[in-house]
Structure 1
Amino acid sequence: MTVPARRLELDGELTIVAAAEQQARVRAFLAESPVPAELDLSGVTELDTAGLQILLAARREAEQRGTALTFHDPSGPVRSVFETAHLSAELD
């Protein structure tokens, strides 16, 4: 039996301005339970390097907890930053 993934929707700006708040949200979400998790990125309107660091750190933290974290439905701005950073494979 496959355990369904939990999902957290991120929206708006994922930038240095909102980094601390968004990071706290993501970390609390990951701490809730050890099942696979998804971050829904369809509503992210802007992403900068601080936001990118939050996403990549969240993936590492999930791995350290022994679970998977996937990035679901990335918006255009998210795809653009990942492509610029040569990290497009992280979205698949």
Structure 2
Amino acid sequence: MKTREIEGELTIYTAATEKENLISFLQSDDELELNLSKVTEMDTAGLQVLILLKNEARRHQKTLHYVMHSKPVLEILEMANMTASFGDQVILT
């Protein structure tokens, strides 16, 4: 399993760059884990990137887990009523 971490913002200002980086990451293995613990800010553009990545993983028959959700990530997931949508375990602290 290959792991990657996102640090900093996942917002409209960084979404395009992160999307390209994450698509490359998606091609690196069949089982992947994306650590979201260091995401300091996230908006709906960041959420769209996470949705796209999950969909691409399914389309290519890869396993992708989102882990260690930071507070900003959890806030957007809750606001969009998508906390359980990705199928990943979310631990609230």
- Whether TM exceeds 0.5 here: the answer is yes
User: What is the DSSP-based 3-state SS (H/G/I as helix, E as strand, rest coil) of the residue aligned with 1:57?
Assistant: helix
The answer for the alignment partner of 1:54 in structure 2 is 49
Tell me the equivalent position of 1:39.
34
* Runs of 5+ unmatched residues, structure 1: none
2 CA distance for matches of 1:87 and 1:7? 23
Match of 1:10 in 2: 6
User: Cα RMSD (Å) of the superposition?
Assistant: 0.9
| Aligned residues between the structures | 87
Deviation at 1:76, TM superposition (A): 0.3
Task: Name the aligned partner's letter for residue 31 of structure 1.
Answer: Q
What's the counterpart of residue 72 of structure 1? 67
1:28 to 24, 27, 37: 24
Amino acid at match of 2:54: R
- Runs of 4+ residues over 3 Å off in structure 1: none
Q: Equivalents in 2 of 1:56, 1:68: separation in Å? A: 14
* Structure 2 spans left out of the alignment, 5+ residues: none
Query: Which has the larger share of helix?
Result: 1
Residue 31 of structure 1: how far off its partner (Å): 1.1
- For the residues of structure 2 that align with 1:20 and 1:31, how far apart are their CA atoms? 17
After TM superposition, the score normalised by the length of structure 2 is 0.89
1:82 CA displacement: 0.2
Distance 1:13 1:22 in 2: 10
Q: Give 3-state SS (helix, strand or coil) of 2:81's partner.
A: coil
Report the Cα distance in structure 1 between the residues aligned to 2:43 and 2:23, rounded to whole angstroms. Answer: 19
With normalisation by structure 1, the TM-score equals 0.90
